[in-house]
Amino acid sequence: MVADPAMVTGLGLIMVGAGLAIGIAAAGSGMGQGMAAAAAAGGVAEKDYSFGKMLTMVALPETQAIYGFVIAILIIFVVAAGLGAF
């Protein structure tokens, strides 16, 4: 376990970084998905058989959140673990 105060601060900052990585990515992804979903809802209301394809459109902006998630996981489990956090 980490005992050095500087290391503790460093680890704290690493965790904040991980939080920002997923937080900002998810916010951007959410905004994009919101716009796409609003348009898709209109489309499905008109042509209900297009549900599957509309879902695809809505799902596209989500990938960025996954990137953010991967970076956060890597920060936590690779960088932080490398510094002896676990």
Binding footprint of other proteins on the chain (CB under 8 A): 49, 51-53, 55-56, 59-60, 62-63, 66-67, 69-70, 73, 76-78, 81, 86
Nearer to other proteins, 10 or 57 (CB): 57
Least distance to other proteins, CB of residue 84, Å: 11
The count of other CB atoms within 10 Å of the CB of residue 82 is 10
Give me the least distance between CB of 32 and other proteins, in Å please: 14
Residue 53's SS3 state is helix
**CB-neighbour burial class of residue 17 (10 A; exposed 0-12, middle 13-18, buried 19+):** middle
Q: Which is nearer to other proteins, 5 or 52 (CB)?
A: 52
Q: Give the nearer residue to other proteins in terms of CB position, either 13 or 70.
A: 70
Residue 26 tokens read as: 């998810």
* Residue 7 Cβ vs other proteins, minimum distance, rounded to whole Å: 17
CA distance 46 to 2: 59
